[in-house]
Amino acid sequence: MFLPDRRIALAYRVLTVIVITIGLGRITGVFSGDVSGTEFLFYTVQSNILCLVWAVALSIRTALDLRSDGVRGGSTPSARGGGAVMMTITTTMLIYLIVLVPISFTQGSGYTPFTLTDNLIHIIAPCLIIGDWLLFTPKGRLRWYDPPLWALIPFAYLAFAYAWSAAGGDFGYDRAYPYPFMNVEELGIGGVAVWFLALTVALEAVGFLYVAVDRVLGAIARRA
């Protein structure tokens, strides 16, 4: 699936920039004038910032190509780079839906999921990035060894979060860990390791699914 119309791509990408900006502005308190620096420590916010930068880059590239090369064609700086961004924000969405939301319902934490802000940063932004890849990125560019490389981004965040905690930092409300499945004190090293292994397997499976879809759609496009 590839829609080679830069006008549509530009409108979609500008909309993506606007939506992600609104989500980030709401979660960080920028719009309310009560900025919370703590929110910038969370993977969710960092992955949304990465998506915002990517969407801005895509918008600029599309606008320039539209002016110089016309309406027909694609405008993507790097299909594989886009795959990495897509997998980064997919991680945000899946952990929210399969881990954080169920925990909030079972543990009675008082947290209310699926608010407008939560939906913007955990569901709508990921869907927009995935949709951009499906609609406007030429297929057949991803490689089977890409998913393990994409995993380096969330693993780098884990290293950052534990380093921050070890240095005495917290993640708001005196929390030593940003997410419950990272809590070594409650789960133990073994329990945390099991969580990491399960999440890695699940997310790598999704990553390889993306590559498989890319390969199939690329083959169809070449035969068309």
Please list the ranges in the chain whose pLDDT falls under 50: none
Task: Please give the pLDDT value at position 32.
Answer: 87
Residue-wise pLDDT for 26-81, tens only, equals 999 998 888 888 999 999 999 999 999 999 999 999 999 999 999 999 999 999 99
Q: Which bin fits 22, alpha (ψ -120 to 50), beta or left (φ > 0)?
A: alpha
Q: Please report, for residues 163, 173, 204, 213, the alpha-carbon distance to residue 176 in angstroms, rounded to integers and kept in the order given.
A: 11, 9, 27, 39
Q: Is residue 182 part of a domain?
A: yes
Task: Please give the pLDDT value at position 108.
Answer: 57
End-to-end CA distance of the chain: give it in Å, rounded. 11
Our measurement of the distance from residue 176's CA atom to the centroid of its chain's CA atoms, rounded to an integer in Å, reads 23
**pTM (2 d.p.):** 0.95
Q: Is residue 30 part of a domain?
A: yes
Task: Please give the pLDDT value at position 200.
Answer: 98
Computed on alpha carbons and rounded to an integer, the radius of gyration of the chain in Å comes to 19
Q: Is residue 84 part of a domain?
A: yes
- The boundaries of the domain holding residue 202 are 6-223
Q: Is residue 55 part of a domain?
A: yes
Please give the tally of structural domains in the chain.
1
Sign of CA dihedral 181, 182, 187, 192: positive
Task: Please give the pLDDT value at position 36.
Answer: 82
Q: Is residue 1 part of a domain?
A: no
Q: Is residue 176 part of a domain?
A: yes
> Token digits for 63?
């606008």
